[in-house]
Homo-oligomer: A and B are copies of this chain.
Amino acid sequence: MTPLDADALFDAHRARLDRAVQANRQRTAWSPFMESPSRKHHPPGAHAAGRAAYEDRLGMAMLEDHPARVGWVGAEVSPYTGAPLDVRYPQVDVTALLEHVEAVRPPWARASPRQRVGVCLEILDRWSRQTFENAYATMHTGGQGFMLAFAGSGASSLDRGLEALAMAWAAMDQIPAQATFQRTFGPGPAVTLHKRYRLVPVGVAAVVTCGSYPAWNAWPALLANLATGNPVVLKPHPNGVLPVAIAAETARRVLQEAGFSPDLVTLVADEPDAPATVSLLRHPSVAIIDFTGSQRFGAWIEENCRDKQVYTETSGCNAVVLESVVDLDATLDAIAQSLSMFSAQMCTAAQNIWLAPEGVATPEGAVSVEAVCARLDAAIGRLVVDPERAIGLCGTLQNPGVLTTIDEVRQVARREQLSIVTDSHAIVSEAWPKARTATPLVVRCSHTDRALYGHEHFGPIGFVVVAKSRQHALDCATRDARERGSIAAYAYATDPARQDTIIDAFSAAGASVGINLLRQRPINFTAAFSDFHVTGLNPAGTACLTDLAFVARRFRVVQAKLELPSA
């Protein structure tokens, strides 16, 4: 182990940090990481080595040096193979762990922001070199397709982590370590005060990650906390431990190499039948909670952990307002992809496609609701007709409850005599014969069926919802965003004045909207350094990830001033 110097790490990564700070302000396209796994972008053998590194994890124990270990846990099952991963993680005594973390945190709190950010930049760089390994870990836990997993646990989340780190640095960097203050008080000579400003972290942060897409929120939260001096206790979903544990292992190693306690990053793993999240979150040592998961649990935290700083990203009822297009089939292809990609298990996936009774305006004239439904069905069909392509796109379902939800929605549709635009089926893949999968189910309904469409259905379930008019469709879509939450909304309208109306309406509902997204594929794509995330203005959560509000409260300023003796 070569010892690392935290200040030297800062210097080594300084150019990347400065560029990220600039990107945060310019918000144009930038990423220092590679989102494609194509061999032409990586050293020879990188992919095979990463896959082997993943396979070497199977059946093994991890984080054997973890504090407060009282046993081993781990019940992850690959949704591709149906086989247990058999990776064992420390089972920890939460109280003993937090006592230990409290004990080791002072030197990290006292380290300079520069040193802490230097270590964080190195962690991020090491993570970026583990992207193949982490992609396989994400695939076989959360269930993502490989391509998505590579981008999602790789560049997309690394970008978001660097973005948060740069934001934390910008917030801390504006406060000088010291200042000389000189002025007169009354008639005497000038008085000189030497002032020191200490940035004091607020305390231990618990970072709760979701099973399907852990890195996206975990990397920003972990780095924002660590950079501002707060130790991080990661609490992954019981079937999404491995990607998080790999990242924790790496972060712990870097911390140790840099002369700090590895226990500034720890992991509370659990199994579905013995969850540990509530006891962790309620522990008085936990001062910060970063949560990704269900709206229901997020609301519980916001209600019950009010003595702590809480940053949540939950879920919403994401709309597509479909009014007028230049190319209907290209539009429906884009929407179909959003309904299919990773089986719509992402917080930005579209769910409710809103139409006026007259259908959609196109250069060829109005296309009826009926025809739009038929052409959407065809678009989905094109995406899933080939099973191996389909499973690459749709990935798998980590949670068997998604299949139950699909069944339930199908039954409601039949009972209510709603037409099924596209039915869902399992993907029969030769590569993954035991995979748990489902192609999209799309149901046509009316705006009056809000009990059906008016909340998030986690999984590949969409609705074509027919409103009374275009404006009514927009009103309903934004009402749902306001009342039920929305992280991403979509709209298609060719008239600029109408685009402004749509933007104003979603803005008033606190929902970000993408207009006429066709060739930005997937339309769900959210770019770090450019796209803001959760607005905090509707029930989909409070954690923007990407703004000063996400970082500025994680540390406080304590000052000392010393009057220098008069000359």
Interfacial residues of chain A within 13-71, with CB under 8 A of chain B in the complex:
24-29
For residues 523 through 564 of chain A, which have their beta carbon under 8 Å from a beta carbon of chain B? 525, 527, 530-532, 535-537, 544, 547-549, 552-553, 556-563
Residues of B within 8 A of A27 (CB): 175-176, 179, 181, 195, 197
- Nearest residue, chain B, Cβ from A561: B514
Q: Among B182, B558, B561, which residue has its beta carbon within 8 angstroms of that of A515?
A: B561
The segment out of A258-266, A381-389, A457-465, A503-511 that lies at the interface is A503-511
B559 touches A181 (CB 8 A): no
- Shortest distance between the CB of A77 and any CB in chain B (Å): 33
Given known contacts A515-B560, A532-B559, A174 and B521 CB-to-CB distance under 8 angstroms? no
Contact of A559 among B195, B197, B531, B549 (CB under 8 A): B531
Interchain CA distance A269-B170 in the complex, whole Å: 41
User: Closest approach, in angstroms, between the C-beta of A196 and any C-beta of chain B?
Assistant: 7
Q: Which residues of the other chain, B, contact A547 by a CB distance below 8 angstroms?
A: 175, 552, 556-557
CA of A566 to CA of B330, assembled, Å: 13
Provided the pairs A185-B520, A193-B520, A563-B515 are in contact, do residues A548 and B552 lie with their beta carbons within 8 angstroms?
yes
Alpha-carbon separation in the docked complex, A306 to B180 (Å)? 39
List B contacts of A515 (CB < 8 A): 560-563
A181 touches B527 (CB 8 A): yes
Q: How far is the CA of A513 from the CA of B29 in the complex (A)?
A: 45
A518 at the interface (CB under 8 A from B): yes
A415 at the B interface (CB under 8 A): no
Indicate whether A549 sits within 8 Å of B560 (C-beta atoms), given known contacts A183-B29, A566-B519: no
Check A225 for interface membership: any CB of B closer than 8 A.
no
Contact of A562 among B28, B197, B516 (CB under 8 A): B516
B532 to A197, Cβ gap below 8 A? Answer: yes
A365 proximal to B (CB < 8 A): no
Question: Please, how many angstroms separate the alpha-carbon atoms of A516 and B547 in the complex?
Answer: 39
Give every chain B residue within 8 A of A198 (Cβ-Cβ): 507
List the B side residues contacting A170 at CB < 8 Å: 174
A346 to B127, CA, bound (A): 51
Roughly how many angstroms separate A73 CA and B503 CA in the complex, as a whole number? 44
Given A25-B174, A29-B182, A179-B27, A506 contacting B558 (CB threshold 8 A): yes
Closest CB in chain B relative to A190 CB, distance in Å: 9
Residues of chain B lying within 8 A (CB to CB) of residue A566: 519
In the complex, which residues of chain B have a beta carbon less than 8 angstroms from the beta carbon of A197? 27, 532
The answer to whether B559 and A512 have CB atoms under 8 Å apart is: yes
Q: Is residue A188 within 8 Å, beta carbon to beta carbon, of the partner chain? A: yes
Tell me the bound Cα distance from A175 to B548 in angstroms: 10
Answer whether residue A171 sits at the interface, using C-beta atoms and an 8 A cutoff: yes
Q: How far is the CA of A391 from the CA of B176 in the complex (A)?
A: 40
Instruction: Assess the A28–B548 pair: CB atoms within 8 A.
Output: no
Query: Is A186 close to B, CB under 8 A?
Result: yes
The answer, yes or no, to whether A565 is at the interface (CB within 8 Å) is yes
A537-B200, A556-B537 are known contacts. Are A530 and B181 too (CB-CB below 8 A)? Answer: yes
- Whether a CB of chain B sits under 8 angstroms from the CB of A162 is no
**CA of A198 to CA of B193, assembled, Å:** 42
Complex Cα–Cα for A446 and B506 (A): 63
Identical chains bound together, number: 2
Assess the A25–B558 pair: CB atoms within 8 A: no
Residue of B nearest to A198 (CB): B507
A213-272 interface (Cβ within 8 A of B): none
Task: Give the most central of A182, A193, A535, A537: most B CB within 10 Å.
Answer: A193
The answer to whether B29 touches A181, judged by C-beta atoms less than 8 angstroms apart, is yes
Nearest CB in chain B: distance from A318 CB, A: 15
Which residues of chain B are near A556, meaning CB under 8 Å?
A: 510, 535-537, 544, 547, 549
Taking A181-B28, A519-B563, A549-B556 as contacts, is the C-beta distance between A510 and B200 under 8 angstroms?
A: yes
In the assembled complex, A413 has its CB within 8 A of some CB on chain B: no
Among the listed B26, B517, B549, which residue makes an inter-chain contact with A561, where contact means beta carbons less than 8 Å apart? B517
Docked CA distance A552–B513 (Å)? 22
Nearest Cβ distance between residue A305 and chain B, in whole angstroms?
10
Contacts of A181 in B (CB 8 A): 27-29, 527, 530
Let me know if A560 and B507 touch, CB within 8 A: yes
Nearest-CB residue, chain B, relative to A521: B185
Closest partner residue, chain B, to A513 (CB atom): B560
B535 touches A200 (CB 8 A): yes
**A371 beta carbon closer than 8 Å to chain B:** no
Q: Is A202 an interface residue (CB 8 A)?
A: yes
Interface centre among A176, A517, A531, A562, by most chain B C-beta atoms within 10 angstroms, is: A562
CA distance A27 to B544 in the complex (A): 29
Contacts of A191 in B (CB 8 A): 519-520
Does A326 lie within 8 Å of B182, measured CB to CB? no
Residues of B close to A548: CB separation below 8 A = 171, 174, 548, 552
In the complex, A499 has a CB within 8 A of chain B = yes
7 contacts between A and B (CB under 8 A): A27-B175, A27-B176, A28-B180, A181-B530, A196-B503, A537-B556, A547-B556
By Cβ-Cβ distance, the 8 closest A-B pairs, closest first, are A548-B552, A27-B179, A29-B183, A503-B560, A549-B552, A532-B557, A515-B562, A306-B306
